[in-house]
A = this chain, B = another copy of it.
């Protein structure tokens, strides 16, 4: 058994990243006499197995759930055969826990252990995983309003791993170099691995990804005479779109070798190699002056301490009437990324609050013209990804990804849908320009052509 008890994380249940020890303490006290999960874990491991129709662990789990406001989730403890059902409400989720060791792990470090135990199959969730995750997030959101200061402090204590030049390379490699073939199975034609833009909720994934690129280009008022620097270009979809549909000249930077190889191949295929240059290098090494600076879905991998540096690069890259757009996952307030997501899925990632994002622009007197929050679009995008991912599982397995990976990736996609649907995560598009640029349209009607 894991002897790592008493950590700050051990008082947290469920993978919300938002339910911190302080909030639960308050909630527990309000509800009566709920013990702390780490105390529970110590109790259980010290006590002999009790079987008076109801095991010790079942009773303790019930008490803990009571302290959490009786979430409508039923637990089934496979090693005792018991069910711990919510009191007074119909369960919306059913969780099967395989063994006592898994339950204890969950009580001790729920944020990490729920994801790992789900991935390894020691926890099964019956029914709709997305619905289950949405419900979890909603439950914990309710207990969440009061703890902003705690989470703010917590956010700074639990920083993700740093994105130095070398660190970034390592972090980006771990996620994006899983293989272009893997991502091609579920990202759709555009290979855009960022939030799409749904003109209507009925749009297909490919339509919405193309609409996103057009939405971005329109915001930037991209024209044929324009030069563009793109920081973090993924598989090159936007750069190629800007060149082929708008006639722009693009220099696109990315440190993922696999993505750059793929993007260069596509540029040659589409005959755009004279208009789009893909450069395997860090955004900090962008040189030259451009009419447009764009960065879609890279900021999540830039540590907040590097925001002023990113702003410096944007400022020095822009002509006097240059326009910039940064598109990033964000938060309503500073909070660390969920530790399981940061550890297993996105090493080094951090989604900033809008206030934190201003650390990019304010030091350089860059002028923010427009901010749009597209969080519901990311929920739709992720639903399309998950659907395609599930449909392609045979192919994923054939690529020699093991069952642990298959389940881990499903939980990541399902949990992300829930995070965007419940308002735990945001998606910000920030349009900006130099402080001296007066060549800006009076209204935003041009973004919505008739």
Contact = CB atoms under 8 A, between A and B. Distances in A.
Interface of A: 138, 141, 144-145, 148-149, 197-201, 332-334, 353-355, 358-359, 361-373, 375-377, 421-423, 426, 435-438, 440, 442-445, 447-448, 450
A354 B368 contact: yes
State the oligomeric state as a number of copies: 2
Contact of A376 (B138, B141, B442): B442
13 contacts: A144-B365, A145-B364, A198-B443, A199-B442, A199-B443, A200-B442, A332-B361, A332-B368, A333-B361, A333-B363, A369-B372, A369-B373, A443-B448
Nearest to A353: B362
Contact of A332 (B148, B366, B426): B366
A254 to B, nearest CB: 29
Given A148-B365, A149-B363, A332-B365, 14 more contacts: A138-B436, A144-B365, A148-B364, A199-B443, A332-B361, A334-B362, A355-B355, A367-B373, A367-B426, A370-B373, A371-B371, A376-B440, A377-B442, A443-B448
Q: Which 7 A-B pairs have the closest CB atoms?
A: A355-B358, A371-B371, A333-B362, A423-B435, A448-B448, A369-B373, A148-B363
B364 A354 contact: no
A385 to B, nearest CB: 18
A262 to B, nearest CB: 31
Nearest to A148: B363
Given A365-B332, A368-B373, A372-B370, A444 B437 contact: no
Contacts of A447: 444
A358 B367 contact: no
A422 B200 CA distance: 39
B365 A145 contact: yes
Contacts of A201: 442
A422 B365 CA distance: 12
Contacts of A368: 332, 354, 371, 373, 426
Contacts of A445: 448
A80 B442 CA distance: 47
Contacts of A332: 361-362, 365-368, 435
B448 A436 contact: no
Contacts of A443: 197-199, 448
A73 to B, nearest CB: 20
A376 B373 CA distance: 23
A141 B436 contact: yes
Contacts of A363: 148-149, 333
B444 A372 contact: yes
Nearest to A149: B363
B448 A423 contact: no
Contacts of A354: 354, 358, 361-362, 368
A435 B335 CA distance: 14
A195 to B, nearest CB: 12
A355 B435 CA distance: 16
A376 B423 contact: no
A358 B426 CA distance: 15
B362 A148 contact: yes
Nearest to A368: B354
A87 to B, nearest CB: 24
B148 A435 contact: no
Nearest to A358: B355
Contacts of A437: 423
User: A148, A363, A443, A448: which has the most chain B beta carbons within 10 Å?
Assistant: A443
A435 B151 CA distance: 16
A218 to B, nearest CB: 12
A421 B422 CA distance: 41
A423 B438 contact: yes
